[in-house]
């Protein structure tokens, strides 16, 4: 039985908030100097993209406000072109685009109490 889209949306939402929290209050210089932080944020972006890739086409079509292709494209870039990942893009995504994505996903994600009881 395939998983419900809500599982992937919730996962995207949770991971986006975690990535955003990792860079909160962090300067670009501090980000550049912290390899573990860069790797963690890059990995979180990869997993967000993987979850987005698994959201059904019907759900994606029904929610065109979410930049599905860009999110999935970031995953492909990190996974398949890992030697040429642009840290500027990772930083910009984490600091500028994730807050917008979180706002888009929040109304789509199932309530926290619903997912904890399932």
- Residue 80 appears among annotated catalytic residues: yes
- At 2-35, the pLDDT tens digits run 569 999 999 999 999 999 999 999 999 999 999 9
Kind plus residue range of the DSSP H or E element containing 82:
none
Beta-carbon contacts of 56 under 8 Å, excluding residues fewer than 6 positions away, are 5
Strands in 1-118 per DSSP E: none
Kind plus residue range of the DSSP H or E element containing 81:
none
- The domain locations on the chain are 5-107
Cα–Cα nearest to 15, from 51, 39, 57? 51
25 sits in the region (left: phi over 0; alpha: psi -120 to 50; else beta) called left
Max CA separation in the chain (angstroms): 46
Set 11, 17, 38, 75: catalytic member: 75
Buried b / exposed e across 55-69, counting CB within 10 Å, b at 16+? Answer: beeebbeebeebebe
Tell me the average pLDDT across 77-96: 82
* pLDDT band, very low/low/confident/very high, at 75 (cuts 50, 70, 90): confident
- Residue 75 appears among annotated catalytic residues: yes
- At 33-66, the pLDDT tens digits run 999 999 999 999 999 999 999 999 999 999 999 9
């Amino acid at each position: 039985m395939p998983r419900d889209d809500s599982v992937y949306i919730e996962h995207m939402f949770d991971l986006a908030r975690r990535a955003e929290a990792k860079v909160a209050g962090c300067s670009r210089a501090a980000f550049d100097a912290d390899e573990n932080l860069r790797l963690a944020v890059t990995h979180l972006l990869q997993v967000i993209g993987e979850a987005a890739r698994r959201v059904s086409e019907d759900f994606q079509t029904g929610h065109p406000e979410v930049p599905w292709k860009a999110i999935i494209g970031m995953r492909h870039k990190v996974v398949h072109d890992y030697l040429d990942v642009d840290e500027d893009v990772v930083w910009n995504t984490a600091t500028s685009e994730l807050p917008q994505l979180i706002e888009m996903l929040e109304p789509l994600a199932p309530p926290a109490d619903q997912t904890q009881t399932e």
